[in-house]
Chains A and B, each alone.
Chain A
Amino acid sequence: MDFTWIKLTIGAIATIGLYSVLYRENKFYRLIEHIYLGLAAGWSITALWTESLKSTWWDKMVGTPTASGQPGTPGYWAYILLLPIGLMAYFVFSRKNNWVSRIPIGIILGLWAGQQADAWSKKFLPQIAASMKPIIPNDAFIVPAGTGPTPGSLYVSQAVTNIIFLVTLLSVLSYFLFSFELKTRFMKGMTTTGRWLMMIGFGAIFGNTVMTRFTLLIDRMYFIWIEWLITGTFKM
């Protein structure tokens, strides 16, 4: 019984314990579930300190010594002010002084909100530019599959594809943005088409979601059968 096998076995028991809920809710599942939550919370506390706060907050506040133990980087005392500001968030559990918690939360939301205009321009302007596709053809009818387009030429098939791209973009956009009542038949038709075309996006999301979720299950079965049993236990 080596350490690796013990580690794998504990992991396998935990996996089976969590899977037992598929049959029905039971005490074994509840036990593993609570251990899972506890370990995750425990690691978060540790990692918030070791991976983040120690270097970002503490070391900058108290400074760091050199390798020989002499004062190296000086400390900046103002960093201590973040402790009471951060602790104000915990007043969210107080009935009387609940509002104080809105100060640190407001600061973080303000920092997020202040970046949105810049973020929007960096994210969407290139997308808008990439959506401006040419629609007037200047070359043969169809581009053969498996070959690249000739620079400067636009095949009829590409032009049709670009028109479909633009119609999809605009109709889904109209469905998404015009939430008020539409009176013209054209706009009604546009939003209906948008709704249908939006389903293509959702269908693709569904297909890809299935891939992810099934892969996670495959990974667990691989762990149980191959890593733990076949390789870990029977050494095959």
Chain B
Amino acid sequence: MNFLIAQAPATPPLNFWNGDNATAGLWIKIIIGLVLGFALMIGLLFAPTRMRRPIVVTFTFLAGLFWMVQWLWPRAGEGVTEPTNATEGVALWLKDALPVVTDFANILTAFLLGLGIYSLVSIHGKRLIKKQTDWVFSGILLLSIVIMMIFGYADWLTRLGEGAAKVELVPGFWNRGRDLLFDGMLQQMDAAMFSLIAFFILSAAYRAFRIRSIESTILLSTALIVMISIMGAIVFMLDSAAAPVSNNLKLSEIAGWITGSLQTPAIRAINFGVGVGALAMGIRLWLSLDRGGVSG
């Protein structure tokens, strides 16, 4: 596992796991690694049915085991870099391995995020090719993907070299294009799309928010107090009116009391319940106790 040295601060010595940048030796190792990786993948496709579950269970368990051990294993003392016993050796190895495991997690998650995009492209690609209903829109969607990719990547390339500072002062064609697509279109659409919910909330509150039971009365009253307490001008007026009588009757004090004494413990208890659920789910997933889960 010497490749963990990838994280070491100084330039590490060359060994089996690494190679100098842009050398034939490193590229040959990478290509061999790639071939072996694909061979493993293809080999898995031919795995017997009864072996499938154990394979998935093993990968899931080992992935979780790293973090469990990392949590439970005694830490090496602060500033210790050379182990004096086996426990410290394992502790230091775990510390060295942590950023590499994190790298792997980041990289795999990035590949998994591509699944959604693949699905989107696949659905709209099929619709375009088969000229199904709204195929023109699908074509526009795919075109938008390509244009954004080109401008996004080209813009990034212009910022890589020494000219990066110049780009900020005098943006070029690609920078302006990216700016137009990202800031001018995508971000404005993002903001507009999510702001539509305000209309639906108003409509839903008007139609469905009725005082019909104790529960709905409590919910509505709390929502009302919270909303009014957000309106600073109203709070100011009501506080000014209550001040001569008692400071404890100020709306800001009442709202603060509800937040601290009722809202917080209620949400803490809900959160606690969800947390226990998440912990139980985590253990079940790690040990593949759910037959319908990832292990099949």
Tell whether any CB of A sits under 8 Å from a CB of B in the complex. yes
Within 8 A of A (CB), among B45-68: 45, 52, 55-57, 59-68
Partner of A14, one of B103, B141, B148, B188: B188
CB within 8 Å: A-B pair count: 452
Cβ-defined contact, B263 with A35, below 8 A: no
Asked whether, in the complex, the Cβ of A36 is within 8 Å of the Cβ of B115, the reply is no
Say yes or no: B153 contacts A46, CB within 8 Å.
yes
Q: A39-B144, A41-B117, A41-B121 given as contacts; is B20 within 8 A of A71 (CB)?
A: yes
Asked if B181 is at the interface (CB within 8 A of a chain A CB), the reply is yes
Asked if residues A14 and B269 are in contact (CB atoms below 8 Å), the reply is no
A140 close to chain B: CB less than 8 A: no
Interface of B is mostly: helix
- Report whether B141 and A37 are in contact in the complex, using a CB–CB cutoff of 8 Å: yes
**Contact of B188 with A60 in the complex, beta carbons under 8 Å:** no
Contact indicator per residue, chain A 191-208, by CB within 8 Å of chain B (1) or not (0): 000111111111111111
Complex Cα distance, B187 from A8, in Å, reads: 11
Assembled-state Cα–Cα distance A47/B181 (Å): 14
Interface residues of chain A, those whose CB is within 8 Å of chain B, are 3, 6-8, 10-12, 14-15, 18-19, 21-22, 30-32, 34-50, 52-53, 56-57, 60-65, 71-90, 92-93, 97, 99-100, 102-118, 120, 123-124, 127, 131, 142, 144-146, 161, 164-166, 168-173, 176-177, 194-211, 213-214, 216-217, 219-220, 223
7 A-B pairs with CB atoms under 8 Å apart are: A12-B188, A77-B33, A108-B108, A112-B285, A146-B253, A200-B258, A223-B188
What 5 pairs between A and B have smallest CB-CB spacing? Answer: A38-B144, A203-B222, A42-B148, A86-B111, A207-B226
Known contacts A71-B21, A103-B44, A110-B60, then 8 further A-B pairs from the complex at CB < 8 Å, ordered by chain A residue: A6-B184, A11-B184, A30-B137, A74-B26, A77-B18, A80-B37, A201-B262, A207-B227
